Amino acid sequence: MPFDVNSLENHWMPFSGNRDFKANPRLVVKSEGIYCWDHKGGQLIDGSSGLFCSPAGHGRPEIAEAVYRQMQENDYIPHFQLGHPGAFELAQRVSRLLPEQMNHVFFTNSGSESVDTALKIIMAYNRAIGQSQRLRFVSRERAYHGVNLGGISLGGMVRNRESFPVTLPGIVTMRHTQTSEQAFARGQPATGAELAEDLARFCETYGGSTIAAVFVEPIAGSTGTLVPPVGYLQRLREICDEHGILLVFDEVITGFGRTGKPFAAESFGVTPDIITMAKALTNGAIPMGAVGVKDEIYQAVTEAAPENSIEFFHGYTYSAHPAACAAGIATLKIYETEGLFERAASLSDYFLDAIWSLKDHPLVVDLRGYGMMAGVELVSDGVPGRRGTRFQKDAFWNGLHIKFTGDNGIVAPAFIAERTHIDEIIDKFRKTLDAHL
């Protein structure tokens, strides 16, 4: 059979309405800076940094050239019992951005792999320190921790779970942190810290010594940007400390400057024991994730094993892939030389002012935001998520890429954005809203 270059049939697209998309495709054929171009030649402004992956803007030549050079020099080596210099350099660069005492980094290829790797690190750690009775994990309603089996077991978004009823046992879920009192709260809501007491109740119900770890996104991203109430993360930390429970921040979205600091842990002044990350690590150019762990965790796991043995039976064929490491190093150099985290911090007020200008729109039921990340919640049309899906498509043809989950638009521009770009995003957002009236 001749090869049909226009056929869309064979590719089963992820998290997509395949039949709907293939009937009316939206292909992006070029991207540069804060813009993309569709297959009909239309220009789109990227209001969500792709999928929160590209804070330095698209098409950065420094990253492309670093990857090209690496591919010519050393395209692939397995990373089991072998190494290449880029992996060690990147781990050191990531460690410098992580909280003190968190100087060890395990590389993966995605956020989902980072979450499942973190679960296994915790199990290995507890075994090493004689705490294997800690079999229970705590997560939160409306959480998103990726799509692998560990991640969906921890996840709290119903559509991601309901088709897959076999999940890990022993997971208990705290309430999410959105309350009606917080509507239109900008930054951290003043109320809601008491929701952290759910964890204290689990400790009373199950015994704190049976709980291994608590997983939370410092800002719950994929559910529509739920910013933690003032004092909430601090209280989780206190309860964890009281009971010897590890605290994991899933910073796959918030990592690398989205909150105006390298990690949200620093923005909120709470240090977890483990941080999972991915997305902006390579500016989205090459798939890569990582897990940062406190030194005592690395030491306990490695020292528990006999000398000359493998200490942690886990890893991926593509862990620390040379091309991904080259992309990561080039990306972190851009963040540093261009001061992009500081730029994110200084743009935040302008960005949030622009978001809050949508408050008067009759279809907007809530706004939330922190740093360079905001949630715009639209009134439901009766079927949860239907308006959001339609809005995202309409926005595309109005020249705007915005990621929607359910009826929540997640606006998260690149940190290289100028104020005029933010104005353009909001202007196109409003025009798309008006067309829905």
For ligand PLP, the binding residues (CB under 6 A) are 110-112, 115, 144-146, 217, 221-222, 250, 252-253, 278
- In whole angstroms, the minimum distance from the beta carbon of 147 to ligand PLP comes to 6
Sign of the alpha-carbon dihedral angle for 100, 101, 106, 109: negative
Closer by beta carbon to ligand PLP, 121 or else 354: 121
Closest residue by beta carbon to ligand PLP:
111
* Cβ at position 403, least distance to ligand PLP in Å: 9
Question: Whose CA is closest to 276, among 123, 145, 168, 374?
Answer: 145
Q: Of 115 and 203, which has the nearer Cβ to ligand PLP?
A: 115
Residue 111 or 189: which CB sits closer to ligand PLP? Answer: 111
Q: Are strands 35-38 and 43-46 parallel, antiparallel or unpaired?
A: antiparallel
| Spatial contact of 369 and 379, defined as CB atoms under 8 Å apart | no
* Least distance (Å) between residue 320 CB and ligand PLP: 16
Burial of residue 245 (CB within 10 Å: 0-12, 13-18, 19+) is buried
- Residue 174 φ then ψ, to 5°: -75, 165
Q: By C-beta, is 67 or 115 nearer to ligand PLP?
A: 115
| Beta-carbon contacts of residue 203 (< 8 Å; ≥ 6 apart) | 211, 239, 242, 243, 245
Least Å distance, CB 357 to ligand PLP, is: 27
We find the least distance from the C-beta atom of residue 311 to ligand PLP, in angstroms, to be 25
Nearer Cβ to ligand PLP (251/424): 251
Pairwise CA distance, residues 57 & 83, whole Å: 30
Which residue has 């939160």 as its token pair?
Answer: 140
Nearer to ligand PLP, 117 or 188 (CB): 117
DSSP β-ladder status, 274-277 and 246-250: parallel
Sheet containing strand 364-370, strands side by side: 364-370, 373-378, 408-411, 403-405
In terms of CB distance, is 58 or 140 closer to ligand PLP? 140
Closest approach of ligand PLP to the CB of residue 110, in Å: 4
Name the strand (E) or helix (H) holding 411. Answer: strand 408-411
CA-based max dimension of the chain:
68
- Minimum distance of ligand PLP from residue 221's CB (angstroms): 5
